Structure 1
Amino acid sequence: MEQARGALPSRAEIPAEYRWKLEDLYPSAEEWEQDLKTVETLAAEFAGYQGRIGESAATLRAALALRDRLGRLMDKTFVYAKMHRDEDNTNPHGQAMVERAQALLTRVGEMTAFFLPELMAVPQTALDAYLQAEPVLAQYRHFLADLIRRKQHILSPEEERILALSSELAGSGENIFTMLNNADLEFPAVHDEEGREVPLTHGRYLRFLESKERTVRQEAFLALHRTYHRYRNTLAAALNAGVKSNVFYARARRYPSALVASLDDDNIKEDVYNSLIDGVHAALPAFQQYFQQKQAMLGLAEMHPYDLYVSPVADFELKISYEEAKAVVKTGLRLLGGEYAALLDKAFTEGWIDVYENKGKTSGAYAWGCYDSHPYILMNYQGTANDLFTLAHELGHALHSYLSNRAQPYINAQYPIFLAEIASTVNEVLLVLHLIETAQNQREKVYYLHHFLEHFRGTVFRQTMFAEFEKLIHQQVEQGEALTAEWLEDEYFRLAQFYHGPGVVLDPELKAEWSRIPHFFYNFYVYKYATGFCAAVAFVQRFRAEGQKAVEAYLELLRSGGSDYPLALLARAGVDLSTPQPISEAMAMFRQLLPEFTL
């Protein structure tokens, strides 16, 4: 099935084979309801351990096991509710399910808030003795060591209870943005290449930006950004709420800044964040040279933001059905071996993937799931090259989760986001190199080279610009200033000018771009795209130089989940992101590709 242009289909009109199987999580709503009740029961049972956590090795073992059981069931109920809503954000039943699941998480957080402070109060000598006495506790060794490391940031039981009570409010900014962005925001119709009026949607926007017709690109760009601009004050208020939430929790936990607090979750120093920005700044001359080359290839007198995405190869464009995309992905990732290929087959045939856009469906793409389910992937497949690579990207996340969940106990299975973007980007880099190397002629090769260079632009340069903007907006709030729409527009535009240089004419409508980026609500998430890309390039270079040995080290990294700190796991697999080297090597590859980028 390839979607026709025009009005979006309803959820029911999408064939079942292109919808994920949420029934694998819960065959019926009644079973979800029952698990909500079970979560309440388990939370009450866990609350019975208050005041007893450190009394003996057996008590600690039992409390941790119950905590895991409770966590697994909370994950399962929330994941199901959220994905059910994502199928159609206009469905009030799905909205209500998410609200109920979030409210339950808050109540459970309040009931269990005593645990970490109590565990922190157990003397180190006692913990060591318990680990010796109860071999089953060995799986919690990293968890316990990390808690001790962060001991100064764990508050008293009463303070932790208050923070838990506030957690539902903390997501208000993001929730407001999500509902406005996915359910209420409506874009005007625009004209396609044949001059027909077509509704502009999130899923179609990128396709329009990749159009060979400049008027199509320009009209879509202006229509989308002017729509966001009309809601700039509401969106600024939502973002202000999100940033204030991050700052509040950082200060409550005695961190010097929201950035330091966010990085500390992964035991990463601020130098890693700043080193990324510095490394990308050093490569901006090459970045701006790329725009100059592309402008010349496109034959444009001026380069505008709506010209950045289009391929300079006028007579080659990849249009690929979903069925064809599955086969190309499998071939492109064959270097990862037979086990990985078998898991790709499971993903394609066992209801992991929700493929096509429908009315009310959450925009974009993601991979998710829980410890007790197979992974799930949300797509809005349109048949473009970008969709092909997005499929490979999300499969990287999904198979990372699958391997980790089956190799690690629950306490260690959840890998940090810092590692997540490596697994997804390795897949994209392998796929694009395969397509470059098997291109039938120079024009096809340049088409895929353009995609790879665009990957650098979008994942390293653009995400680092976002990371720099995110640092600025948090500093603004930390200094007691407000994030007004005018300030956000001016700062974002200034940063965009610095990155793109004088060779790109930035339309004033670009000032609204900050307001449509959901990742600004994710508490310093975006820099991990850029570091992940650079690490992925390093891994792929190792695969090609060292063969199976490097592939096995990488797969072992995927199986390691969160069993150690991300920088330590990466170093064990052969890539050291605590140094600037992977960033420098990735930027060097970008420079090396530029001379090949010519027709």
Structure 2
Amino acid sequence: MRFFPLVMTGVLLTGTVLTAPLSAEGTTKPSKISRRAPMNQVLTRKDVPEEHRWKLEDLFPNQQAWDQEYQVVKEALTKVASFQGRLKEPAAIKQCFKLEDEISLHMERLYVYANMKHHEDTAEPTYQALSDKAKRLSVETGEALSFISPEILSLSDEELTKLIANPELSFYKRTLEEMVREKQHVLSKAEEALLAQVGNLSQAPGTIFSMLNNADLKFPKVKNEQGEEVELTHGRYIQFLESRNREVRKEAFKAMYDTYAKNKNTIGATLSANITKNIFYSKARKYPSTLEMSLYGDNINKEVYTNLIDTIHKSLPLMHRYMELRKKLLKVDELHMYDLFAPLVDEYKMDITYEQAKQTVLDSLKPLGQDYLNILQEGFNDRWIDVYENEGKRNGAYSWGAFGTHPYVLLNHKDNLNSMFTLTHEMGHAIHSYLSDANQPYRYAQYTIFLAEVASTLNEALLMDYMLKKSTDPKEKMYLLTYYMDQFRTTVFRQTMFAEFEKITHEKAEQGESLTPQEFSKIYYDLNKLYYGDGMVVDQDIEMEWARIPHFYNSFYVYKYATGFSAATSFSKQILEEGQPAIDRYLGFLKSGGSDYSINILKKAGVDMSTPEPIQQAMDVFKGLLEQMEQLAK
């Protein structure tokens, strides 16, 4: 069954998000959005204007249509068993694969719709129930289809070779080759059916964390710059950390992590359970480790992961140098963790309405050609996007969707630079999905998570290049350079730190060590000390940040932000320097879906991620930006 991933944005500060957004001209105008809630008021879902809500009716016009398709899947599942014991003949295999695709496509639509409705208001019981119903059907579907791979792989090597060469199965040749590659990790029919039944249990840690983090966890009120008591939320946290008032930043920082500290035992148990689940699957499927299990599906060598950490470790002196520069520009004796997002340019602020953000994103992506821009404009005009925060809405941002309909984007937009970058980031994901689905058949349209962050980050790189080239004001230039540096800090350095945290915690658990909340906190605190250096005051509160990172429940995912950023840096350089030939290669990459292994798709388009070179290129760019900032700071 095809996997239907939720592609989240990358730089994790506000719960699920923090990608870097950028602005354009005239960014100080007040918002003209109708019925916008002030900062001390969050809209209920029913009060969000229609034009700012995604149009899920394009997926299912109403609940009745969803129920009908649900029954289609239930009926189709009754036909699957008829293929058991027959998967040695090409005709039977072809018919079975066709039915598998039909079921998977319907299941994908049901699952995506139910969960997006749930994400509109996670406290709404109707769609909690619908999401649960879709998850249960997904597990049932996985169980029903679980015999296919084991039965085919029970054939002899000679028989498998003949099937792969059979013209009747030419469309499924890649599927069969991939099955053979994974043969050593596929279990017997009975064992695969049992693992499929465990599916609901395996989702429990992530589901529990999501409900606690998005629906149940309540933060205290903190004072804003005007001295007003305002409720702290995931969506507002970044705004407080970007305040020019240091006491506002400090109070929000402490309130955030004090809240998580009060729940550390529950969240620690949840994260530990997720790691235990990963170890269970890696052992059951005979992988050497959880890390290698996570990389195997993308056919990525372990060295890609370890090379990233090693290369970033070598570049940590650049990060430490940047922290020293930040301390100098802030004119503080000590740089604290709550100072990392403070503005460095006196009296310079970019306020960007959603309408301004859309136009700037359009202008910045002109190097990708008119066809790309037409798809982007369609997304803006046809309500692909759920724009603003509302009560109970899933925090952060993501791109998601189902084959056969356009992609969707969830935002929690604020009128700032960060939210504009989040917009272009998620639309990069969306257009990648749009072009893959339009150019590949269903079975091969889904690109891997390893590739997912390239398209989104390429959009960010082009947006930043556009803004820097337009800038003539030294203050604005410093502001933009700071922002770009923080993209590197959060997307490359920070995500690599997250990746190292996951590697350490899983390795400890695999060695039989217990993972208490105190152990999680010690590991996380020590990594912050390593990555930020002795010139930074690493406040003790930051030791609880591990408790608020949703990506840790999609284990060994975050390293792909850093590798994706590096690949995107290479692509953007090629596009801006070479023009049309590079654009054609890049659009070919977007259209490739999952038609080949990720490393091969990137290599064909001109980026070789099997070596540390793209990561080192990204570090060279970081060094150049740092030198520009140091010159301006003199």
Q: Please indicate the TM-score interval, normalised by the length of the shorter structure.
A: over 0.9
- The structural deviation recorded for 1:506 is 1.3
Q: Counterpart of 1:71?
A: 104
AA in 1 matched with 2:420? L
Q: Counterpart of 2:171?
A: 139
Aligned runs of 1:95-114 on 2, under 5 Å?
95-114=128-147
1:245 aligns with 2:289: no
- The structural deviation recorded for 1:482 is 2.1
Q: Secondary structure at the residue paired with 2:399? A: strand
2:342 to 295, 303, 310: 310
AA in 2 matched with 1:539? F
Question: How many pairs does the alignment contain?
Answer: 597
Aligned runs of 1:415-430 on 2, under 5 Å?
415-430=447-462
Q: Which moved more, 1:66-75 or 1:104-113?
A: 104-113
Q: Secondary structure at the residue paired with 1:52? A: coil
Q: 2: distance between equivalents of 1:347 and 1:280? A: 36
Q: 2: distance between equivalents of 1:139 and 1:354? A: 37
Is the contact between residue 3 and residue 356 of structure 1 (CA under 8 Å) also seen in structure 2? no
1:352 to 355, 365, 384: 384
Q: Secondary structure at the residue paired with 2:409? A: strand
Name structure 1 gaps, 5 residues minimum. none
1:500 aligns with 2:500: no
AA in 2 matched with 1:20? W
AA in 1 matched with 2:396? G
Is the contact between residue 534 and residue 583 of structure 1 (CA under 8 Å) also seen in structure 2? yes
AA in 2 matched with 1:151? K
- The structural deviation recorded for 1:493 is 0.2
Q: 1: distance between equivalents of 2:308 and 2:547? A: 24
Q: Counterpart of 1:25?
A: 59
Q: 1: distance between equivalents of 2:186 and 2:163? A: 22
What RMSD, in angstroms, separates the aligned Cα atoms of the two structures? 1.1
Q: Counterpart of 1:474?
A: 506
Q: Counterpart of 1:12?
A: 46
AA in 2 matched with 1:215? E
AA in 2 matched with 1:4? P
Q: Counterpart of 2:16?
A: none
Q: 2: distance between equivalents of 1:132 and 1:516? A: 49
Q: Secondary structure at the residue paired with 1:171? A: helix
Q: 2: distance between equivalents of 1:238 and 1:130? A: 44
- The structural deviation recorded for 1:34 is 1.4
Aligned runs of 1:24-423 on 2, under 5 Å?
24-54=58-88, 56-127=89-160, 129-130=162-163, 133-135=166-168, 137-423=169-455
- The structural deviation recorded for 1:440 is 2.7
Is the contact between residue 57 and residue 134 of structure 1 (CA under 8 Å) also seen in structure 2? no
Q: 2: distance between equivalents of 1:173 and 1:342? A: 41
- The structural deviation recorded for 1:413 is 0.6
Is the contact between residue 330 and residue 344 of structure 1 (CA under 8 Å) also seen in structure 2? yes
Name structure 2 gaps, 5 residues minimum. 1-32
**Could you list the per-position Cα deviations for residues 297-344 of structure 1 after superposition, in whole angstroms to 9, with x for gaps in the alignment?**
111111001101122012221110001100000011111111110001
Q: Secondary structure at the residue paired with 1:193? A: coil
**Could you list the per-position Cα deviations for residues 42-96 of structure 1 after superposition, in whole angstroms to 9, with x for gaps in the alignment?**
1111221111122x22211111111001000010000001000000001001100
Q: Secondary structure at the residue paired with 1:48? A: helix
Q: Which moved more, 1:305-314 or 1:452-461?
A: 305-314
AA in 1 matched with 2:126? H
Is the contact between residue 153 and residue 160 of structure 2 (CA under 8 Å) also seen in structure 1? no
- The structural deviation recorded for 1:481 is 2.0
Q: 1: distance between equivalents of 2:69 and 2:232? A: 40
Q: 2: distance between equivalents of 1:93 and 1:252? A: 36
Q: 1: distance between equivalents of 2:404 and 2:513? A: 44
Q: Are the structure 2 counterparts of residues 442 and 139 from structure 1 closer, same or farther at C-alpha, using a change threshold of 3 Å?
A: farther
AA in 1 matched with 2:433? S
**Could you list the per-position Cα deviations for residues 168-211 of structure 1 after superposition, in whole angstroms to 9, with x for gaps in the alignment?**
10011111100000000000011111111111110010111111
Q: 1: distance between equivalents of 2:170 and 2:365? A: 35
Is the contact between residue 413 and residue 563 of structure 1 (CA under 8 Å) also seen in structure 2? yes
Q: 2: distance between equivalents of 1:123 and 1:413? A: 30
Q: Secondary structure at the residue paired with 2:222? A: strand
AA in 1 matched with 2:382? E
**Could you list the per-position Cα deviations for residues 217-256 of structure 1 after superposition, in whole angstroms to 9, with x for gaps in the alignment?**
1111110011001000000000011111111111100001
Q: Counterpart of 2:541?
A: 509
Q: 2: distance between equivalents of 1:545 and 1:461? A: 26
AA in 2 matched with 1:266? D
Q: Secondary structure at the residue paired with 2:335? A: coil
AA in 2 matched with 1:536? A
Q: 1: distance between equivalents of 2:164 and 2:304? A: 33
Q: 1: distance between equivalents of 2:292 and 2:244? A: 44
Is the contact between residue 19 and residue 353 of structure 1 (CA under 8 Å) also seen in structure 2? yes
Q: Secondary structure at the residue paired with 2:496? A: helix
Q: 1: distance between equivalents of 2:356 and 2:37? A: 15
Give the TM-score of the pair, scaled to structure 1: 0.98
Q: 1: distance between equivalents of 2:140 and 2:276? A: 23
**Could you list the per-position Cα deviations for residues 410-444 of structure 1 after superposition, in whole angstroms to 9, with x for gaps in the alignment?**
11111000000001000001101110110131111
Q: 1: distance between equivalents of 2:243 and 2:370? A: 37
1:449 aligns with 2:476: no
Q: Counterpart of 2:11?
A: none
Q: 2: distance between equivalents of 1:144 and 1:127? A: 8
AA in 1 matched with 2:57? E
**Could you list the per-position Cα deviations for residues 81-123 of structure 1 after superposition, in whole angstroms to 9, with x for gaps in the alignment?**
1000000001001100111111111112222111110121234
**Could you list the per-position Cα deviations for residues 336-395 of structure 1 after superposition, in whole angstroms to 9, with x for gaps in the alignment?**
111110001111011100000000000000000011221000000011100000000000
AA in 2 matched with 1:58? A
Higher relative contact order (CA 8 A, sep 6+): 2
**Could you list the per-position Cα deviations for residues 262-314 of structure 1 after superposition, in whole angstroms to 9, with x for gaps in the alignment?**
00111111111000000000110011100111110111111001101122012
Is the contact between residue 399 and residue 429 of structure 2 (CA under 8 Å) also seen in structure 1? yes
Q: Counterpart of 2:21?
A: none
Q: Secondary structure at the residue paired with 1:243? A: helix
Q: Counterpart of 1:584?
A: 616
Q: Which moved more, 1:126-135 or 1:267-276?
A: 126-135
- The structural deviation recorded for 1:132 is 5.4
Percent of matched pairs sharing the same residue: 45
AA in 1 matched with 2:222? V
**Could you list the per-position Cα deviations for residues 517-562 of structure 1 after superposition, in whole angstroms to 9, with x for gaps in the alignment?**
0011102000000000001001111112211101110110110001
Is the contact between residue 139 and residue 411 of structure 1 (CA under 8 Å) also seen in structure 2? no
